[in-house]
């Protein structure tokens, strides 16, 4: 907890010498001092990269207890995620209901962990009449998961873009419209992922503003050593976790790939980007659930490629990496309000040639429905409006899908390019499916 979060490590810090007798070495051997100087002068970037990678691994080893604490909180938060999926499946029961894990159960396990690890927060975060501090830990655990999700999406987006940009054996000749559509779809996906990262990132910055307060103490007698540690009375535990996450993002994310298990929700360090499960057990559990759901015939496959209008909230999406999820929301990033005027005497003076104005359109702002925006336009427009229509760009479609690991967003371009891997289903028996999740 008391580790420096913003210190840059230099290779010179790791240069060391021993007292080994080199007198019997072969005469063609290069003295170690010369070899070291040569490497530092000519391969400095490679050495620095190797040192950063070794330091990142050391940080990961030191972070074992921190990750364990976050996973303890997340394990209870999983029930909240399962309940959210059940709410999506049961539309009548989801209105305004917020499901939270049992705070006292979370507090009990956290208190046991702090006592076992001899944390300075043992007394501060004990089980008392009020355990409101559990809410703070739940918030920071969710923020960390959301940030890791967004980072994973950014890496996946970059990998997909690289594959798309690769030159095939027989390059196709797409039309200008196809190239424009693909460019707009990729831009929408990047903007969507950026927005998904921005909210938890901004909230993390808000928590970091509280700062970490340290205190000094002596340790040992001959001679005494000065130790710096976090002042648990003045620094909330969520702030320490936020600083831990900031250290990962700023220093170690290039060399340590933290991910969230798509089944159990635990944070783990993965060696491959396509690894979405923390263990073989979780992977087998997901496969078993899929098989059980298929055998029970609670789902009916829907062909969204030929019938894109079938995409709607409540459908299930089976994703090869994230498992089975439920569509929470279907929206379009680019929408316009098209107005039709009944007054044929209205003249558009701004046109190159003055002409009668029979209609016009306006972009609909984010967060507003077409009806709400129409009422605003109608209130300030003196002309007689005969009718209105919401016009959407099909290429700007975005799905919000809730998986057990959290909410993911997919653009139309991702859906069409991954149709072979992603399968959509209509739910025939929502109650039975909710029990099987």
User: Contact 324/293 with Cβ under 8 angstroms?
Assistant: yes
DSSP letter (8 states) at residue 82: H
CATH topology classification for 58-163+178-270? Jann2411-like fold (1.10.3300)
**Cβ neighbours of residue 76 closer than 8 Å, sequence gap 6 or more:** 101, 102, 105, 106, 109, 138
- Looking at residue 352, what is its pLDDT? 55
For residue 127, the tally of other CB atoms under 10 A from its CB is: 12
What is the distance between the alpha carbons of residues 185 and 208, in angstroms, rounded to a whole number? 35
Q: What angle do CA 414, 416, 421 make, to 5 degrees?
A: 80
User: Contact 241/144 with Cβ under 8 angstroms?
Assistant: yes
Between helices 237-247 and 133-165, what is the axis angle to 10°?
20
**Cβ neighbours of residue 47 closer than 8 Å, sequence gap 6 or more:** 11, 39, 40
In the chain, where does the domain assigned CATH 1.10.3300 lie?
Answer: 58-163+178-270
What is the distance between the alpha carbons of residues 118 and 106, in angstroms, rounded to a whole number? 18
Helix (H) or strand (E) holding 79: helix 64-89
DSSP letter (8 states) at residue 302: E
DSSP letter (8 states) at residue 93: G
Can you give the pTM of this predicted structure?
0.66
What is the distance between the alpha carbons of residues 54 and 192, in angstroms, rounded to a whole number? 34
Helix (H) or strand (E) holding 398: strand 397-403
What is the distance between the alpha carbons of residues 106 and 252, in angstroms, rounded to a whole number? 29
Q: What is the pLDDT along the chain (437 residues), one digit of tens a residue?
A: 444 445 554 554 544 445 556 566 666 677 777 777 877 788 888 888 888 899 999 999 999 999 999 999 988 876 666 666 777 776 444 434 444 557 888 899 999 999 999 998 988 888 876 788 898 999 999 899 888 887 877 766 655 554 444 444 444 555 554 555 555 555 555 555 556 567 788 889 999 998 888 888 888 777 888 888 888 889 999 999 999 999 999 999 989 999 988 788 889 999 887 788 888 998 888 888 878 887 888 888 888 777 767 788 888 888 877 778 888 888 888 888 888 876 554 444 444 554 455 567 888 887 788 888 888 888 887 777 778 888 888 888 888 888 876 778 888 877 777 556 788 888 888 777 777 77
Q: Which two tokens stand for residue 210?
A: 């509280």
- Give buried/exposed letters for 283-305 (b at 16+ CB in 10 A, else e): beebeebeeebeeeebbeebebe
């Amino acid at each position: 907890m008391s580790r420096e979060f913003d210190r840059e490590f230099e290779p010179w810090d790791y240069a060391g010498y021993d007292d080994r007798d080199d007198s019997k070495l072969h005469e063609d051997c290069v003295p170690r001092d010369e070899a070291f100087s040569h490497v530092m002068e000519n391969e400095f970037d490679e050495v620095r990269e190797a040192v950063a990678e070794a330091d990142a691994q050391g940080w990961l080893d030191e972070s074992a207890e921190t990750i364990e604490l976050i996973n303890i909180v997340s394990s209870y938060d999983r029930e909240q995620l399962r309940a959210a999926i059940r709410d999506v499946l049961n539309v009548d029961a989801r209105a305004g209901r917020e499901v939270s894990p049992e705070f006292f159960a979370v507090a009990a396990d956290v208190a046991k962990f702090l006592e076992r690890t001899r944390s300075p927060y043992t007394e501060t975060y004990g089980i008392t009449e009020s355990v409101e501090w559990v809410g703070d830990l739940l918030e920071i655990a969710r923020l960390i998961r959301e940030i890791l999700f967004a980072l994973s999406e950014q890496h996946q987006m970059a990998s997909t873009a690289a594959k798309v940009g690769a030159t095939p054996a027989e390059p196709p000749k797409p039309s200008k419209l196809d190239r424009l559509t693909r460019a707009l779809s990729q831009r929408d996906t990047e903007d969507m992922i950026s927005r998904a990262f921005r909210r938890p990132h901004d909230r993390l910055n808000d928590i970091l503003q509280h700062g970490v307060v340290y205190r000094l103490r002596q340790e040992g007698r001959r001679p005494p050593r000065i130790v710096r540690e976090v002042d648990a009375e003045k620094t909330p535990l969520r702030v320490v976790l936020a600083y831990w996450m900031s250290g990962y993002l700023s220093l170690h994310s290039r060399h340590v790939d933290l991910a969230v298990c798509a089944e159990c929700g635990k944070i783990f360090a993965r060696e491959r980007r396509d690894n979405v499960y923390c263990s073989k057990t979780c992977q087998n559990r997901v496969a078993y659930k899929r098989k059980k759901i298929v055998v029970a015939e609670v789902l009916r496959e829907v062909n969204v490629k030929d019938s894109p209008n079938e995409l709607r909230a409540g459908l299930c999406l089976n994703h090869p990496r994230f498992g089975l999820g439920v569509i929470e929301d279907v929206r379009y990033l680019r929408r316009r309000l098209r107005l039709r005027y009944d007054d044929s005497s209205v003249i558009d003076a701004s046109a190159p040639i003055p002409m009668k104005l029979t209609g016009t359109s306006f972009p609909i702002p984010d967060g507003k429905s077409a009806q709400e925006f129409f009422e605003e336009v109608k209130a300030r427009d003196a002309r007689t409006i005969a009718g209105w229509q919401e016009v959407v760009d099909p290429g700007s479609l975005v799905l919000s899908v809730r998986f057990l690991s959290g909410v993911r967003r997919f653009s139309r371009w991702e859906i069409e390019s991954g149709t072979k891997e992603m399968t959509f289903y209509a739910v025939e028996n929502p109650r039975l499916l909710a029990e099987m999740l």
